[in-house]
Amino acid sequence: MPTDEFEEQIAAYFGWLEEQLGVELRAERAVASEGRRWRFTAIAAGVAAVVALVGVLLVRSAPDRRVTTDSTPMATSASTAGPTTTDEPSPSSTPPVAEASTWAPVHLPPGYRVIGVYRGLAAQMGGSEAADVDPLERPVRPFIGFTVMTTHGPPVYVSDEGDLSPSNQPPTATIQTIEGVGELLGHTLTTIDGTVLRIGWPWIDEQPRDEQIAQVARALAPVSDVQLDALDHDAQTYLGQLPQIDAVVLGGYEMVHRLGGGHEPGAICVRIGTDQGCRPKVGNPNTPADQRQAAASVLVGDAWVIAGTNLGALQIDLDTVDFAWCSAREDGTVVASLALSATIANGVDYFLVEVPDDVDFVRLCVPDGTTLEAASTGVLVRPDTGVDNG
Amino acid sequence: MTFEQFVRERGPGLRAALVAAYGPQIGLDAASEALAYGWEQWARLRTMENPAGYLFRVGQSAARELMREPPSFPVPSGQALPEFEPGLLPALAALTEHQRVCVVLVHGYSWPIVEVARLLDVTHATARTHLQRGMAHLRIALEVHRAD
């Protein structure tokens, strides 16, 4: 069948289908009155999960993402009409942390568990100065994020999104407001000292309930680097004990796909010898396992490895690769694509990149003609060799 | 923009995208659920930059709850479309969701690729790649060759 005829058949069929259904399916063109166009930062919804897993939020270039009109505040469970003030723990409940470097969800109630600690660079979010700059072109700065699993709902993600001041706040700093910002961004959470965090679930599919978000918000407290490392270690140890679904060997590493259950995400672990690193494999539980996308950025022994499943169009059957991992500079600019190993097992695409020793920053990228462009707002940073990855 | 205006302007495209992704039966149900949610939440949604994209994701979640099998598309009678290639529908169903949405919206309903990208929350380049890959899969499945 010639190409032209083939494309005409598609048009003819869907015209016929529209008639059969008796509903209008023709698209409207861009609606000028809708204002400024979306300028999403680059990544497909599935890849958003990959990016989120490495600690980067899917963002867009809104000048101020707080809802300022008659929107419903996030904390609807509190049945209030304005920003919600959470219960403030007594000062004694948060012991002083002299060397606190950030916030972390450390006072979690039973049934909650930190399963992911992410440290990297992320494009500056928020602030009017960034409003007109594409997020992919904004300067990057250090960020920290966490995934908190609950046994009775989808995971909650919380991140400083790269615009947190170093958290040497007094230990009495507590959550002041939680405001809804809607869509993919989670919610803005402000502490009494002005710290702003994003909290919620940054990619599509099921959202955590407000009460879950509030529980995680209340659990936040200043922590030191040592405490953060311990949190990371505990999370990776936990993930490494989940049941094994599949294991493949790529580039000399064994990559193990581990099973979650219910709302519990699975995990991607990479190991060589007795060294192992794990990251949660999140995604909509209703999505078939072989379509979920995930990435683990881990230190395995002395090697920095990025491994995961279903990276964009990694099926190599058509010699087309949507996404790749690229080396980057500290300012986030992309340098060159990194060699990637891939295989398919039981219908799941697995990939692994062993990052060369001389590369300290890696960013998701996409080929665009003869050049490479950043494809997410985040930049992975070589994990600290002092951290035991479990 | 009122919700009624939104439905008038963006509703058809939302339905088309969900029908493309999940077939007419589940796609239309999902579109109805998404629009019902939109009506309930309009005060919040109308402040968003792209409520259609948000509701497309709401529809995706609804559809995935309902999906038990791959999407199916009704076969036209020989009289309705005499030259219709019967292999087209199973080949379409075999595409990934995003590939199918891109193929159907661009070639079935003449959407500009930038609008498809907008609805799917992806970049222009990503939508274009989904489209190219989807079309490449269809050409292989249907043994399509260039006329020249």
Which chain A positions have a beta carbon within 8 Å of B16's beta carbon? Answer: 25-27
For A369, other C-beta atoms within 10 Å of its C-beta total: 7
* ipTM over 0.90 threshold: no
Q: How far is A388 from chain B (nearest CA, A)?
A: 36
CA atoms within 13 A on the CB side of A99: 5
Which chain A positions have a beta carbon within 8 Å of B13's beta carbon? Answer: 25-28
Q: Do B48 and A183 touch (CB under 8 A)?
A: yes
Q: Which residues have C-beta within 8 Å of that of residue A384, sequence separation ≥ 6?
A: A229, A299
Element (H, E) at A353: strand A348-355
The residue of A3, A8, A10 whose CB has the most chain B CBs within 10 angstroms, and thus the best one to mutate to test that interface, is A10
Which chain B positions have a beta carbon within 8 Å of A312's beta carbon? Answer: 126
CA atoms within 13 A on the CB side of B135: 21
Nearest CA in chain A to B123: A42
Q: Give the count of Cβ contacts less than 8 A between chain A and B.
A: 191
Judging by beta carbons within 10 Å of its beta carbon (0-12, 13-18, 19+), is residue A274 exposed, middle or buried? Answer: exposed
Query: Which pLDDT does position A50 carry in this prediction?
Result: 34
Name the B residues in 26-45 with CB < 8 Å from any A CB.
28, 41, 43-45
Query: Which pLDDT does position A34 carry in this prediction?
Result: 28
Q: Do A23 and B28 touch (CB under 8 A)?
A: yes
Q: Tally the residues of chain B.
A: 148
Higher pLDDT pick, B44 / A356: A356
Over residues B95-126, the pLDDT tens digits come to: 888 889 999 999 888 888 878 888 887 777 77
DSSP-derived letter for residue B108 is I
For A207, other C-beta atoms within 10 Å of its C-beta total: 15
Whether B132 contacts chain A with CB within 8 A: yes
Task: Tell me which residue has tokens 């953060």.
Answer: A228
Judging by beta carbons within 10 Å of its beta carbon (0-12, 13-18, 19+), is residue A320 exposed, middle or buried? Answer: middle
Query: Which pLDDT does position A338 carry in this prediction?
Result: 92
Task: Please name which of A140, A88, A183, A167 lies closest in space to residue A381, comparing C-alpha atoms.
Answer: A140
Going from the C-alpha of A257 to that of each of A304, A376, B32, B91, the distances in angstroms are 18, 24, 37, 30
Task: Tell me which residue has tokens 């003030």.
Answer: A85
Low-confidence residues of chain A: pLDDT under 70 = 1-4, 26-101, 124-135, 161-198, 200-207, 261-264, 282-293, 311-322, 368-369, 385-390
The residue of A16, A21, A25, A66 whose CB has the most chain B CBs within 10 angstroms, and thus the best one to mutate to test that interface, is A25
Q: Which residues have C-beta within 8 Å of that of residue B130, sequence separation ≥ 6?
A: A44, A313, B96, B98, B99, B101, B102, B120, B122
Q: Which residues pair with B86 in a beta bridge?
A: none
Query: Which pLDDT does position A374 carry in this prediction?
Result: 82
List the beta strands (DSSP E) in B29-127: none
Token pair recorded at residue A43:
């990544």
At residue A375, what is the residue type?
Answer: A
Instruction: Give the global pTM.
Output: 0.54
Torsion, CA A371, CA A375, CA A381, CA A383, rounded to 10:
-120
Q: How far apart are CA A389 and CA A235, in angstroms?
A: 10
Residue of B28, B118, B129 with shortest CB distance to A313: B129
For A318, other C-beta atoms within 10 Å of its C-beta total: 12
Name the B residues in 92-121 with CB < 8 Å from any A CB.
96, 98, 103-105, 107-112, 114-115, 118, 120-121
Cβ atoms of residues B71 and B30 within 8 Å: no
Provide the phi-psi class of A135: left if phi over 0, else alpha when psi is between -120 and 50, else beta. alpha
Q: How far is B118 from chain A (nearest CA, A)?
A: 7
Over residues A116-173, the pLDDT tens digits come to: 998 888 776 555 555 556 667 777 878 788 889 887 777 888 877 554 443 433 333 3
Q: Is the dihedral of CA B20, B23, B27, B28 positive or negative?
A: positive
Over residues A12-25, the pLDDT tens digits come to: 888 888 888 877 77
Res B29 pLDDT > 80: yes
Q: How far apart are CA A327 and CA B2, in angstroms?
A: 46
Query: Which pLDDT does position A192 carry in this prediction?
Result: 53
Q: Do A71 and B108 touch (CB under 8 A)?
A: no
Query: Which pLDDT does position A238 carry in this prediction?
Result: 93
At residue B145, what is the residue type?
Answer: H
Cβ atoms of residues B131 and B77 within 8 Å: no
Token pair recorded at residue A236:
């990776």
Query: Which pLDDT does position A64 carry in this prediction?
Result: 27
Higher pLDDT pick, A54 / B82: B82
Query: Which pLDDT does position A188 carry in this prediction?
Result: 59
Judging by beta carbons within 10 Å of its beta carbon (0-12, 13-18, 19+), is residue A233 exposed, middle or buried? Answer: middle
At residue B66, what is the residue type?
Answer: L
Q: How far apart are CA A330 and CA A362, in angstroms?
A: 9
Q: How far apart are CA A374 and CA A323, in angstroms?
A: 10
The residue of B32, B48, B84 whose CB has the most chain A CBs within 10 angstroms, and thus the best one to mutate to test that interface, is B48
**Coil, helix or strand at residue A14:** helix
Query: Which pLDDT does position A356 carry in this prediction?
Result: 92
Q: Which residues have C-beta within 8 Å of that of residue A302, sequence separation ≥ 6?
A: A385
